[in-house]
Structure 1
């Protein structure tokens, strides 16, 4: 294993020189991991917290994003005086395998050809993402995590780590997530993937160095973003208000504010995300089913686990609704695990876990402190 950049807290890189065998049976000869750390590992290496990001997140959890200039995606949760605090914790956040912010993915150069992998990159799973994160923790000298924390796809990684490697973590916080992707989740992802692949610039994934499938990726982002919100939230924020006009335009420009908002979300997304990474990561989420290796018995995934669990859902989240969290809680109870669960009131839909939420902060802070 070779460290390419050891700057504390900024744009760090590690290359795994040993081949990585993926869930598909394929192998990656060299895997690069891009990550950030905050705080310091204590003398007995007992204060490490792994933060796992969602589909469109990255390692810049609490630092300014180098492409957008915006604050870290979870700076409300991670930072001095926050629930995940560098004064108490050694915080690690890595760009997932398949990502586009420095970790190995379809945009990475294939050593065998000297060109980007594109669609020759092997299909990955959430379990593969976790395997890479564990290799990173080994490199950082972290044997057992104090906690793993994640929302949405980050929650899937936290569940996978706690279920498959309970000896590596003491506590797990799963927010607005699920133990499997539903048919509806898969359907929304497929709409996004088809939008990307229908863009003429996608060129079977071989667009690196040329025009990118930005139109298809923007549409994919627009469709996905709708699922992150709620009808009540959209109505409150936009309603049927017109955009910079007094009357209907009787055309196909953005007549309504909500149209303009979605177009902005789509266009801004293409500046920071790779279309092929979107294909690969959404496919990994669709494959996720924690009960599948246990003949569909989710409780068996947690049998005998010593891990403490906290689950949080939101009332208006229809992408990963409360019944999905309750299913996990029921399985944990059946497995005899220590688990707490709370459903928080919010009008903001799935994105509530990323927004200002004093109640969420109190829940996470209290749970982490109880385990210290």
Structure 2
């Protein structure tokens, strides 16, 4: 499948925190062709550690796109029917303006980069759509942090989103999730190589970022999934070592996940994006009443959760659904069964594809 990778300059961007980015650059990929009526655009919003390479080979890792199960000929998001857009989020590290981008003084922003929010990410995406001449999306879809962006899109720009698919997500970050993120941030900042965020040009805080990734990755899986995949099986040995090597397969797996992550992600971006997720609370902007975030919306919603997801449990999805019901917004909701926990939306899930395909096509799922 052919993709079109692009980077555009979009001018300045005012942020929720009061700062103004003097120059916004957005890196994105597209699949398919925009129809003459410009009515087939689908925005794919990515999760924390993903990027714009949703359905094309990653230039750093060489791996296939992270959502090739959803995007492709004959799939739910079909480039023969849809013009699919996936943009690297504001604050990230794969081409969109973030901490590793160059400041006007020619040095990387580092911690001089202003703190951002999910709404800031969405405003950056809106500027991209303006640049592309797209007034209204056929759909916005995403899981996890991508789902947060979808909900924010429907709240900020209700007239620009026909259908919203929010998967394995929430309308706010819980205290537990904030706590996990703080552990990851502290691991990064405790790494001597972090150097107060000014490590560009020298060794990166790989050890701290690796630990942050390991801790986060545990939350993406379920106890059932971990047990089925690893149990207490030993890694390449017949007996325990009575030491601190990776005796167990699950330890070796987490170490691999941590070390491989440092090859493609920037530690400062991890700090900024996790902070944006922590600040996310749609109700807070509307007097504490979540339904008010969607009042008067013309968007149709599809909310999907997974029964083994303890990072964003079904109760969080139900909260969104109840809020939509309270303002008579059209919404479909389903909880899917999966042993894979939060990561289920990225893994093989025929029921998920069937539901998304039915919702986007306007036919019963």
Does the pair score TM above 0.5?
yes
Q: Specify which of 23, 26, 38 is matched with residue 33 of structure 1.
A: 26
Q: 1:141 and 1:75 mapped to 2: Cα distance? A: 26
SS at match of 2:4: coil
In the alignment, does 2:103 pair up with 1:133? no
Q: Which residue of 2 aligns with 1:65?
A: 58
Q: Measure the CA separation in 1 of the matches of 2:291 and 2:163.
A: 17
Task: Tell me, in whole angstroms, the C-alpha distance in 2 between the residues paired with 1:64 and 1:324.
Answer: 33
Q: Secondary structure of 1:115's partner?
A: coil
Find out whether 1:220 has 2:176 as its counterpart. Answer: no
**Does 2:222 match 1:230?**
yes
2:297 to 298, 305, 308: 305
Q: Which ranges of 4 or more aligned residues in structure 1 deviate by more than 2 Å?
A: 8-11
Three-state SS of the structure 1 residue aligned to 2:334 is: strand
Counterparts of 2:3 and 2:123 in 1: how far apart (Å)? 22
**Distance in 2 (alpha carbons) for counterparts of 1:303 and 1:108:** 38
| Root mean square deviation, CA, Å | 0.8
- Alignment partner of 1:175 out of 142, 167, 177: 167
User: What is the rounded CA distance, in whole Å, between the counterparts of 2:28 and 2:3 in structure 1?
Assistant: 8
**Alpha-carbon deviations, 1:110-142, whole Å to 9, x = none?**
01x110000000000000000000000011111
User: In the alignment, which of 108, 117, 129 is matched to residue 101 of structure 2?
Assistant: 108
Distance 2:242 2:207 in 1: 23
Give deviations 1:265-305, integer Å, cap 9, x for gaps: 00000000000000000000000000001111001111111
Deviation at 1:11, TM superposition (A): 2.7
State whether structure 2 residue 300 is matched by structure 1 residue 276.
no
TM-score by length of 2: 0.98
Question: Which segments of 5 or more consecutive residues in structure 2 lack a partner in the other structure?
Answer: none
Gaps of 5+ in 1: 1-7
Q: Deviations over 1:68-115 (max 9, x none)?
A: 00000001001111101100000000000000000000000001x110
Query: Which residue in 2 is equivalent to 1:5?
Result: none
Among candidates 186, 193, 198, match of residue 190 of structure 2: 198
TM-score, length of structure 1 as denominator length: 0.97
Partner in structure 1 of residue 8 of structure 2: 14
Say if 2:5 and 2:30, in contact at 8 Å, map to a contact too. no
Q: Aligned residue for 2:74?
A: 81
Matched, 1:365 2:333: no
1:188 aligns with 2:180: yes
Deviation at 1:161, TM superposition (A): 0.4
1:346 partner SS = coil
SS at match of 2:361: helix
The match for 2:281 is 289
Separation in 1, partners of 2:240, 2:58: 38
Deviation at 1:16, TM superposition (A): 1.2
1:247 to 230, 239, 242: 239
Q: 1:145 aligns with which of 137, 140, 147?
A: 137
CA–CA separation in structure 2 for the residues paired with 1:348 and 1:9: 29
Counterpart residue number, 1:3? none
For the residues of structure 2 that align with 1:321 and 1:178, how far apart are their CA atoms? 8
Match of 2:91 in 1: 98
Whole-Å separation in 1 of the counterparts to 2:127 and 2:71: 23
Aligned length, in residue pairs: 362
